[in-house]
Structure 1
Amino acid sequence: MTSSAQHPAIDKRMEPKMTLSNRSLLNKTFLADGAFSLASGAVLILAAVPLAALVNAAATPFITPVMLKALGAGLLIWGIFHLSAARNGGPVAASARISIAGDVLWQVASLALLLTAYANLSAAGIALVVIGMIGVADFLFFKLRGLAQERAAIA
């Protein structure tokens, strides 16, 4: 007599593995955003003093090393959120909406920083803010597109 019970070790080997080629666009974007956020956060924390000197134009710094370290810590949390949401083929729609809202807020805050502190930022500081905005806009575009693809697949 053969048992109808399945063997976990055999079943585990039969499950498809999540490689980059079979992940959704939204999942790949979450992985990329998570990795980039972790790397950027680490750089901001570890190099806060020289970066603060680089981005400030005035003798009285507008952006302090403490501010850059806080931003770096926030990016570490943001990166962990993205990587944890992307595991097991995720993210769920709620995580995608939170991420999209965060990216929009980043764009608004960056624009507000440029408008209010333009005179206090060095050319390198302005360039870094603009480059950050472009990078976040790219992630935002792919998140919106990936979420739309997943919604279309469900419908």
Structure 2
Amino acid sequence: MPVLRQITTCTEPSTVVIERRARARDRSVDYRLEVCRRHRWLANSWTGRRSTERAGGRCGTVTDYRTYAQIVQSHAAAWLVPLTANGPEDHEGDLAAALRAGYELLTVHREPTGVAIALEHAARIAEAITVGALPQAEGRAQVLAVLGAAETLDAGARGA
């Protein structure tokens, strides 16, 4: 099931599409990122075939077909670690601990922002999955939805 992410709040149509072909047998594409001319710098950390064909969707839209673990790793590497200096690898692979540490860092000297609140909420969902209070598939979908919303909120706060 693809996951929709929005890494900008820009409403311009895309002019460039970055599509990475999958190496997995069960899907043909890992992800597809669309960016406008002004935000094409965001594509620098995304590998894949660059094209202007099939452009025209909303800038910053990522349609992600990868596995849960790969999408979480992508969120961590491209967004969470640069924002909070905490990723699952810093907490023995514990996503909930990384998200909670990020929340604490973002709120240590100020009131919680929407991004911080979303991180804390995603941490609670990840913990609920771990203890069996939420079914894994449904819980993972919720974690990815909250992380996607947090990433979009952060993009808006940064002016991306």
Regarding TM over 0.5, the answer is no
**Structure with more contact order per residue of length (Cα contacts < 8 Å, sep ≥ 6):** 1
Q: Which has the higher helix share?
A: 1
Given the two structures, how large is their TM-score scaled by the length of structure 1?
0.32
Given the two structures, how large is their TM-score scaled by the length of structure 2?
0.31
Q: Which has the higher strand share?
A: 2
